[in-house]
Structure 1
Amino acid sequence: MSINEAFSDFFYSAPDGLELHARVYGESNSEPWPVVCLPGLTRNARDFHELAMHLSKRAETPRKVVAFDYRGRGQSAYDADVNKYTVGVEAADILAGLSALGIEEAAFIGTSRGGLIIHVLGMLRPSALKAIVFNDIGPVIEADGLAHIQSYLERTPTPKTFAEALIAQRGAHGQDFPALTDADWSRMVRALYRETDEGLVPDFDPKLVDTLAKLDLSQPLADMWPQFETLRSIPLLAIRGANSRLLSADTLRQMREHHPKLEMITVDGQGHAPFLETGTLPAEIAEFLDRAELQNS
């Protein structure tokens, strides 16, 4: 591990031997449930930095927080086989990481793709899931939202500076995120891009775009209601951006019907997916985790 003042870098081997990475915050915090953070499709552990700092340093219940980089993202190695960039393979990678860290159970926070992985973990190892936060994801994905993601990934900008990147990202997503400040956008682009000798590049394997391009969005998308049913007994907080194109208000309503104890937050002025470090979200997430753990005791 290389020690950073806020977190440790943890490297481990996937089941197929690929070297993968996670950040570990509050490593010495051992009493409350640890928290596992799973990012979106092309995102990485840096997205959770501010939330992880809040949860790991909270006076009442400081928690260990582990934020993963999937294969092909962040500091994890790229996979030569694009066919391994799947939710199932990534779920197995997360289980391998938890095993390497000695974590048998935890609360899980999943943004978009991360929430889909949690659905799979509910089938593979439900005992590992003590509480769940879904960030703008559920068992039904709206085709229009996925098409929007396809579109902007296919024309991902190649800015030379962070200032150019901020302008590009704000131009692509600003309509869905009017509530964000300049500081919010700056954090977003610094999490998404990395600096190279040729300028900035998105911090993910470009082949990830191919996995989305293969989807035929003219056909109905498979839902994950069977997997969602395995989560019925687990405390669940569902966060939705009011302007989300991926998680509909109707799907959120149906999730409540399937999961009677589900708690919900709608974030005004944000789309897919809400920035979990903004507004009152860090405090609300921390309080949800505290309630879930208290009810479990």
Structure 2
Amino acid sequence: MVEHRMMDVNGIRLHIAEQGSGPLVVLLHGFPESWHSWHHQFGPLAEAGFRVVAPDQRGYGSSDHPEDVEAYTILHLVGDVVGLIRALGEERAYVVGHDWGAPVAWHTALLRPDLVRGVAGLSVPPPFRGKEPPLVAMEKRFGGRFYWNYFNRPGVADAEFGRDVRTALRKLFYSASAAASRSGEVKQPLVNPDKGWLDSMADPEVLPEWFTEDDLDALTESFSRGFTGALNWYRNLDRNWELTAPWQDAMVTTPALYMYGDRDLVPAFPGTPELIQNLPRLMPSLVREPIELEGCGHWTQQERPDEVTTALIEFFRACP
């Protein structure tokens, strides 16, 4: 049974969900999600002999929402994971992340390999620091219409999503799912700054079968305090690029696994298909070639829970 509690970690309070005993597995959600995005994985991982913990990361759900934008850098986020592992009384953990949780997981392994038994990323591949800040690069490429740049405008997306939280989440989840895309379709997430992002998204009459009304209820409740904390992660993209300069050309050396859906918009971002193709050569610590899930959209562990859980268990057991 999943249990919940609050923990003091890295100068803030985090809400965590946990189940099971054994080697620690930390599951890190993305945007716009919560601990609940891993609810399919808790039981099977616990039954397989693991202690499973999923926090609401800072700025999300019942965890603290610091007001300062600069309190959401990648160093703060990695610090939360490091502090959580220690606060749970553990010395090492398997760290798994989806969407924004994946860069946090990858950077935890990059910065603190002594704490990470193995690292797995879903949707977002391992980090390789580019030649220029990401917001600057996307501003040049798409004239400010890429959704990162839209999110970087203070208060704008916060207000758009906050007007009707449930509808915003329903549209966001559906638009990035396999149900809203066609096989082989490459579609960049561009926004008309004058109309907002939701205006261009379909509002489904029926949710995909993997995403129930109860799931939407839980997600809506988790954003009752608004979207600003979650959006502040994006507002640090260029700052993260500056802060990670000491790790230029460094790579993750702990055992690693990468999974993604073939209808996910993230692996189609500029330069990402080439990165994924070259990952086995660029990162020898991958225990196997990247796993591509056919007919899967962005919400990897929710759209394809059984395949993801099975792959994770096999990966954990294969780690030294």
Letter in 2 for 1:38: L
8 Å contact 2:81–2:108 — kept in the other structure? no
Match of 2:5 in 1: 10
How far off its partner does 1:171 sit? 5.1
Q: Deviations over 1:120-157 (max 9, x none)?
A: 32343211111111111121589589934665892426
8 Å contact 1:239–1:266 — kept in the other structure? yes
How far off its partner does 1:45 sit? 1.0
How far off its partner does 1:265 sit? 0.9
**Distance in 2 between the 1:99 and 1:253 partners?**
36
Bigger drift between 185-194 and 146-155 goes to: 146-155
8 Å contact 1:39–1:112 — kept in the other structure? yes
Letter in 2 for 1:184: W
Match of 2:90 in 1: 103
**Distance in 1 between the 2:301 and 2:34 partners?**
13
Q: Counterpart of 2:30 in 1: which secondary structure?
A: coil
- Give the alignment partner of residue 156 of structure 1, picking from 148, 158, 161: 161
**Distance in 2 between the 1:181 and 1:227 partners?**
42
**Distance in 1 between the 2:161 and 2:309 partners?**
29
How far off its partner does 1:83 sit? 1.6
**Distance in 2 between the 1:245 and 1:221 partners?**
26
Count of paired positions: 269
- Give the alignment partner of residue 315 of structure 2, picking from 270, 279, 288: 288
Residue 275 (str. 1) matches residue 297 (str. 2)? no
Match of 2:282 in 1: 258
How far off its partner does 1:68 sit? 1.4
Match of 1:236 in 2: 256
**Distance in 1 between the 2:175 and 2:224 partners?**
15
- Give the alignment partner of residue 208 of structure 1, picking from 230, 245, 257: 230
Q: Deviations over 1:187-227 (max 9, x none)?
A: 653443107xxxxx4665424335535768xxx99999947
Q: 1:171 to 1:34 in 2, by over 3 A?
A: closer
**Distance in 1 between the 2:110 and 2:280 partners?**
20
**Distance in 1 between the 2:33 and 2:119 partners?**
19
**Distance in 2 between the 1:289 and 1:253 partners?**
23
How far off its partner does 1:47 sit? 0.9
Which runs of 5 or more structure 1 residues have no equivalent in the other structure? 1-5, 196-200
Calculate the TM-score normalised by the size of structure 2. 0.70
**Distance in 2 between the 1:236 and 1:214 partners?**
25
- Give the alignment partner of residue 94 of structure 1, picking from 76, 81, 87: 81
Bigger drift between 260-269 and 184-193 goes to: 184-193
8 Å contact 2:60–2:230 — kept in the other structure? no
8 Å contact 1:178–1:269 — kept in the other structure? no
Q: Counterpart of 2:7 in 1: which secondary structure?
A: strand
Letter in 1 for 2:37: D
Identity of aligned residues (%): 19
**Distance in 2 between the 1:132 and 1:252 partners?**
16
Q: Counterpart of 2:211 in 1: which secondary structure?
A: helix
CA RMSD of aligned residues (A): 3.6
Question: Larger % of strand: which?
Answer: 1
Match of 1:194 in 2: 221
8 Å contact 2:174–2:180 — kept in the other structure? no
**Distance in 2 between the 1:249 and 1:136 partners?**
12
**Distance in 1 between the 2:109 and 2:65 partners?**
26
Match of 2:190 in 1: none
**Distance in 1 between the 2:147 and 2:256 partners?**
27
Q: Counterpart of 1:271 in 2: which secondary structure?
A: coil
8 Å contact 1:119–1:227 — kept in the other structure? no
Q: 1:71 to 1:204 in 2, by over 3 A?
A: farther
Match of 2:176 in 1: 173
Alignment of 1:16-95 (within 5 A): 16=11, 18-26=12-20, 29-30=21-22, 33-57=23-47, 61-95=48-82
**Distance in 1 between the 2:279 and 2:207 partners?**
31
**Distance in 1 between the 2:107 and 2:295 partners?**
30
Q: Counterpart of 1:269 in 2: which secondary structure?
A: coil
Calculate the TM-score normalised by the size of structure 1. 0.75
Match of 1:246 in 2: 266
Match of 1:3 in 2: none
How far off its partner does 1:86 sit? 1.8
**Distance in 1 between the 2:275 and 2:59 partners?**
30
**Distance in 2 between the 1:202 and 1:174 partners?**
23
**Distance in 2 between the 1:192 and 1:244 partners?**
20
Bigger drift between 6-15 and 234-243 goes to: 6-15
How far off its partner does 1:92 sit? 0.8
Residue 182 (str. 1) matches residue 208 (str. 2)? yes
